[in-house]
Amino acid sequence: MTGPTVAAPRETPPANPLAEFLLRLGDDRLVLGHRLSEWCGHAPILEEDIALANIALDLVGQASAFLAAAGEAEGQGRTDDTLAYFRDEREFRNALLVERPNGDFAVTILRQFLFDAWSVLLLDALKTCGYAPLAAIAAKALKEATYHLRHSSEWVLRLGDGTDESHARAQRALDDLWRFTGELFQTDAVDEAVAGMGIRVDYAALRSRWNDMVSDVVKRATLALPADQPAATGGRRGRHSEYLGHMLAEMQSVARAHPGATW
């Protein structure tokens, strides 16, 4: 699969690891939600246009809850809107996977599936964590994420076991995205610090379950798992691809043009 779970390179722990952990959860969903919103009016069929828009709304709603919690945890008066629209690229903590461009429909679906499988397992672990605000958000988000996973899994099966063209595109998407999945399971000083607050996630066990889940769907879709390869990392520490900067410029443009505006 994607190799053993490893620790990320050690850096100076942030002053507020709880806020940092919540930012990661929020940024993943904010960035992926915006990516999916880019399909509005462009999906291959009307039904899927509506489905992707609804999933995007779910993800942005989850992001709002996680970012609001992060703002409260850091205690500097920043709201979910402030964190979404008035941070620069280096301040975002999303995994590199979610900022990848949409590409063709197969790329979008495989990106979504790989994230959904991870998200469902992570939220399931967090819903019983010792930090009540996070547990409550995770329990609610899990219901939505479970639907997202069912939707993306069905599309992986449909594309992989469809025409020669859809199969080839799905396999190419899986091959291209695979190196970005390792970052989802890396641990660092932030994870170690929040474990002392009751937020404990067994990433090795989570990765094993994710591997099984992904392998099952990929096999039934007649696709082949890519060979192990070095993980592309850096997003959790604010080192992103050029794609995030372009996306944020568009996403944040109205809020930055009218700071303090209310609607």
Structure tokens at 94: 């999303």
Residue with tokens 């039904």: 47
Residue 111 and residue 122: Cα distance in Å, rounded? 17
- What pLDDT shows up at residue 229? 83
For 54, phi then psi, to 5°, come to -70, -40
Burial degree of 37 (CB within 10 A; 0-12, 13-18, 19+): middle
Cβ-based neighbour number of residue 108 at 10 Å: 22
- What pLDDT is recorded for position 260? 83
Q: What angle do CA 174, 177, 249 make, to 5 degrees?
A: 135
Rounded to whole angstroms, the Cα distance separating 60 from 161 reads 31
Sequence-ordered alpha helix ranges (H) in the chain = 17-37, 46-74, 80-85, 96-99, 105-126, 132-160, 164-177, 189-195, 203-220, 242-251, 253-257
Class of domain 17-225+233-257: mainly alpha
- Structure confidence at residue 261 (pLDDT): 83
* pLDDT in the model for residue 8: 53
Contact call for residues 109 and 152 (beta carbons, < 8 A): yes
Label residue 139 left, alpha or beta by phi (over 0 means left) and psi (-120 to 50 means alpha). alpha
Q: DSSP assignment, residue 237?
A: G
Domain ranges of the chain: 17-225+233-257
Residue for token pair 């979008």: 108
What integer pLDDT is reported at residue 186 of this predicted model? 95
Contact 115, 97 (CB under 8 A): yes
Distance (Å, rounded) from C-alpha 218 to C-alpha 225? 7
User: How do the pLDDT tens digits run along the chain, 263 residues long?
Assistant: 555 555 555 566 688 999 999 999 999 999 999 999 999 999 889 999 999 999 999 999 999 999 999 999 999 999 999 999 999 999 999 999 999 999 999 999 999 999 999 999 999 999 999 999 999 999 999 999 999 999 999 999 999 999 999 999 999 999 999 999 999 999 999 999 999 999 999 999 999 999 999 999 999 999 999 998 899 999 999 999 999 999 999 999 999 999 988 76
**pLDDT value at residue 152:** 98
Give the closest residue to 37 by CA, choosing from 117, 97, 86, 98: 98
Query: Residue 180 has what pLDDT?
Result: 98
